[in-house]
Amino acid sequence: MKKLNKKGFTLIELLAVIVILGILMLTAIPAVTRAIAKSRRNTYWQNAKQYIQAVQTPFLAGEYKDGSNVCAIPAPGYAVKIDLSNIELEGGTISKSSFGVAFTASGDCKPYVIVVNEGSAGNGTTTEGRDKLVWYFVGTDQSNNGIAAPTSEGNLSISKVQTGDATTCTAIPSTTTAAKTKTCTIGN
């Protein structure tokens, strides 16, 4: 009886394996890409919430300045913007988004935390004349990833984070105007 020589794979077997691997790659790569993009959007959203929280205590403690003056709680209908580069986190300031791209350096898409007093001036009654501070985040990176419209802390969600198409930003929430907004920096 003649023995067969089985030292390797046939060409047909190798081609079949290559085709199967190719089909697996065609289905796996888009799924992995979507998972990575969703993870980056989720991280951006979580970071935006952390930026707001990182501003709240120092702002209310009077640590932010407008020139030499302490940035006080804005009057009803007014706002204060705090540039992301002035927000101090445990690891220092942040220069890149979760997408690995530097934040926009100027214009309406520059990242800010905005505190708006949506209270009413009132006339002395018990239900009017109270401050209602609402904290917003707006900002994108240089690849147009991010949150293009001021979004309040309570409305921040992963669905607000745009990838690659956040080209037109609104720097001020609709509850106030640019004339009623001042920019503050961290004081020494």
* Domain count across the chain: 1
**pLDDT > 80? residue 162:** yes
Q: Per the domain annotation, does 181 fall within a domain? A: yes
Instruction: Report the mean per-residue pLDDT for the chain.
Output: 84
Q: Each residue of 78-102: b (16+ CB within 10 Å) or e?
A: bbbbbbbbbbeeeeeebeebbbeee
Q: Per the domain annotation, does 138 fall within a domain? A: yes
Q: Per the domain annotation, does 84 fall within a domain? A: yes
**pLDDT > 70? residue 128:** no
- State the pairing for strand pair 79-83/181-186: parallel
Q: Per the domain annotation, does 134 fall within a domain? A: yes
Q: What is the pLDDT of residues 141-159, one digit of tens each?
A: 999 899 988 999 999 999 9
Q: Per the domain annotation, does 142 fall within a domain? A: yes
Q: Per the domain annotation, does 118 fall within a domain? A: yes
**pLDDT > 80? residue 5:** no
Q: What is the domain range of residue 42?
A: 34-186
Query: Which band of pLDDT confidence, cut at 50, 70 and 90, is reported for residue 187?
Result: low
Specify whether the CB–CB gap between 181 and 138 falls below 8 A: no
Q: Per the domain annotation, does 28 fall within a domain? A: no
Q: What is the pLDDT of residue 161?
A: 93
Q: Per the domain annotation, does 136 fall within a domain? A: yes
